[in-house]
Structures are given as structure tokens and as C-alpha cells.
Amino acid sequence: MIQNQLKETVNNLQPNYLKDFFSFCENHFGQDIYQKWFVNIEIYSHTANEIIVKTPSKFERDWLNREFFQSKNFKNQLQKILPQLHKISAVFIAKEDNDKSDSKPKNNSENPDKKVINLSKYENVFAFGTELNSKYTFDNFISTKYNKMALSMAKIVAGIGDKKELFNEKIPFFIHGSVGMGKTHLAQAIAWQLKKTDNKKKVVYLSAEKFMFHFVQSIRSNDVMTFKEKMRSIDVLIVDDVQFIAGKESTQQEFMNCFNSLVEDNKQVVLVCDRCPSDLENIDEKLKSRIAGGMIVNFKNPDFTDRLEIVKSKAKHLEIELCTKVLSFVAEKIKTSIRDLDGALKKLVASQVFEEEEITLDSAKTILSSYLKNNTVKALNVEKIQEIVAHHFSIKVTDLNSKSRLRNIAKPRQIAMYLAKKHTKESLANIGSKFGGKNHATVIHSEKQILLSVDKDQKLLEDVKSIEEKLFSK
């Protein structure tokens, strides 16, 4: 049943697809979930093809989008009821934003003579119904060693940082990396910073898919020249998901023309993609060559230490207190993407808030079970462990097998013995014999020392987890 503001809004607007949509949500999710997540949202904008709802908080916006609206099952079931409805999304609008503007998005026809038309109520946004995420700024970007180079270059492009004078001319900036690693955050941070520095700059952020949509629409409406003028009048073009123009020859040609025109006029172009230019398939070689002529930065995959730092920072931001064991568990087990790390922490927050449940290591394992994958454990041997440990600490395997009691040798040896005991089926005597003829008592002592120290020594914990990650990734 539609209630409160939602019911009043729907009754006032009347289109059947809205009623059908919320009726579907109630039936699909059940009363408990519906009452908890849907009764307090409002209709922000709608067409027969797209519905955007407004939430009371950013947390609810993120939860609705991630857990409900982006679910494949939800989309598939909804398509059976409303096949014309292609997109559902949630937005959060701060009070000050509401005070500054009307409650409805701006109509594109309000200022037809403007070279670049803002397609939503949000400044700096040029995609239907989407907003630049206010969280995606440099201040909120968590810097670790895996993204250090990308962040440094992004700040140069945005005109800030110690090295901002490194390039006298605007060079194309190409960011690539796996899904959910922070590429979009960094690209939007550039947009926010450029507008903050000079609010008169025309900064356009859109997806390659939206670029293609606007281009195709201009062809259908016989208005290609207007589209070309708009795109060439901007100062900074930021295009996300460039891989989506693969195989679209006419779109690629127009994109390359736009790209060339902006670069020749010393305008800034930033491209975001899930792969490097050389790996792009069905992309014109001339366009690849133009992209390759700029600065290309790869988002590397974060290791355990990076992920732990990110988890700690995000937990602090979410104002959630988690013990070291839980934080380490999340960083160790969720390796897929930073987005999944964020989602896992928010799931813990939701459990703590709505279920009033204290987060322990055992409860975290239960709550995050959907994020954990049952990976086949690789068979390891003592020699492989010795090799990885020696490389991690920049020593030789012969050092591990020696009688040296120097701390920089003895501690890695204890770690190697501990891991051999944990991850191989070798007997204690066999493990000891492979470390220069040590006995089983030395192996037992090493294991105890590591287990006693790992909860107190953060650096030791990070070393052990990083080595384990290398062991199972080789």
C-alpha cells in the first residue's frame, strides 16, 4: 500500500505506471522491506521509461540503488510487469539544494540559446536524470599506494597539487582499471575541482552511452550541427565508460572529431575506461592513437594493506566502530573491488542500525556471506612459501634456512614456519627440516609467537595477510 508522502504524490500524479511500479515493489519485496525502505521516499521525476525517487538520506539512496534497483532479479521481474520502464534510480537532494532550486528538474527548453544545456536541476550535469555525486571529491578520495599515481595526475589535470605546472598544455587524460576501483570518483573529483576553481568553466561530465544517445537524437531530429556546436563550446569534457562506443562507427567518428577539436583548442579531455587503449576492441585505430598520445594511468588492484586502510577510513566516515579482527576480515575476504568493500561496510551498518546487532567477527561472517566466494584453495608447499616470504622481506631463502637470529631474519622465518603449518599438510618435523634442520619444537614456538603477536602488531598482521594474498594469487 502506498503511504504518507509517497501515496499523496502518486495520487496527485496519477499515471498508471507509477502505481504499477510501487504495487510491484510491495509485492516483490514484501511488507516488512517495503515499510522500511519505500514508504518515506518521494517521486522526484518520472516518465514511462524512467522513474527517479528522492530519499531522505544518502545512505538510503545508496542502499536502494545497490540492493534493490540494480539487482538483476528485480530488473528482470519488473520488465515482465512494465516492459517499457528501463531505468529506476534514487537520488538524495540536500536541503540547501532544494532551497536554491525548484523541486522539479529543469526543462531543456528553458534556455534554448545556451551553447551547453544542463539536462538536470544539478549544475555541472549533462546526462538525463543523473547528478555529479557530491561525495566524489578529492577530499573524500582515499589515497593508498595502488591509486597514488592516478590521484597525482588527476590533481594536475584539475590544476592543483605540487606538480600542477608539470604540463603547460592540456593533454588528454585516460584513466583505466577494473570495475569499482574508484575511476568514476576520480573523474568527478576533477569536475568538482575545476568548477570550484572557475565556476564559469563549462565542464561536461557524461557517459559514452549518453554521448551516443545525444548524437543519435540529433541525427533523428536533423539537428547534428547544434550538437556539434554544443560539444565544441565546452572547456572540459569528461567521458566515462568509453568502451561502450566500441563497434559504433558513426558515433566513434563524431567522438573523434569532437575529441580532436577540443584538444587542438587546448581544451581538457578526460576519458575513463575499464581497459587500456590497446585492449579496446572494435575501436578505430586513429582514435586509439589519439588517446594513446595523452597521459594514460592504470588503477592497479589494491593489496591487503591498501584495502585495510580503505576499510578503516570508510568505517570512520560511516561512524561505525569495528574491532581490528572484523576490519581485517573484510579487507582480507573482499578483494573484488573498492565498491564491494563499501557495500560490505554499509551492510554491516544497516545490520547494526536496523537489527540492533553488535558486529562481531562471527556476525560479520554471517552478514557478509553473500560477498564471500568459496575459492578453490591452491595446493602449497614449503618451498613456495619460503620463496614468497623471502621476496616480501627482500631477503634470500638461504637466510630463512640459516641459523641467524637477527630480527630481520628470525621474524620472517617464524612467519614462514607459521604459514607452512597453516597451509600445508607437512608434519612439524618435515617443516622444521626444510628450514635448515630445525626441529618440531621450533615450528611450534614460531606458530605460537605469530598467533600471540598478530592481534597486537598491526604491521605484522599486514605482512602476514599480504604474503597470504601473494601465495594464492601466484
Q: 170 - beta bridge partners?
A: none
Q: Which three cell numbers stand for residue 6?
A: 509517497
What confidence score (pLDDT) does residue 113 get?
Answer: 37
pLDDT band at 175 (very low <50, low <70, confident <90, very high): very high
Q: Which secondary structure element, helix H or strand E, spans residue 177, and what is its range?
A: strand 173-177
Q: How many Å apart are CA 296 and CA 319, to the nearest integer?
A: 36
Length of the chain equals 474
Percentage of the chain modeled with pLDDT above 90: 14
| pLDDT tier, 393 (very low <50, low <70, confident <90, very high otherwise) | very high
Q: What is the pLDDT of residue 419?
A: 92
3-state secondary structure of 98: helix
Q: What is the set of domains in the chain, with CATH numbers? A: 4-92 (3.30.300.180), 108-299 (3.40.50.300), 304-371 (1.10.8.60), 382-471 (1.10.1750.10)
Number of H helices, E strands in the chain: 22, 8
DSSP of 5-68, one letter per residue?
HHHHHHHHH--HHHHHHHHHHHHHH-HHHHHHHTTT-EEEEE-SSEEEEEESSHHHHHHIIIII
CA dihedral 163, 164, 168, 169 (to 10 degrees): 120
5-9, 55-59, 440-444: least confidently modelled range: 5-9
C-beta separation of 10 from 19 below 8 A: yes
**Across-strand partners of 88?**
51
Q: How far apart are the first and last CA of the chain?
A: 54
Nearest-CA neighbor of 77 among 66, 64, 68, 65?
68
Interval 265-283: pLDDT, tens: 888 899 999 888 888 878 8
Greatest Cα pair distance, the chain, in angstroms, is: 84
In angstroms, the CA 117 to CA 63 distance is: 31
Do residues 174 and 277 make contact, with C-beta atoms less than 8 angstroms apart?
yes
Kindly tell me if the per-residue pLDDT of 109 is higher than 70: no
For residue 416, name the pLDDT band (cuts at 50, 70, 90).
very high
CA–CA distance, 315 with 322 (Å, rounded to integer): 8
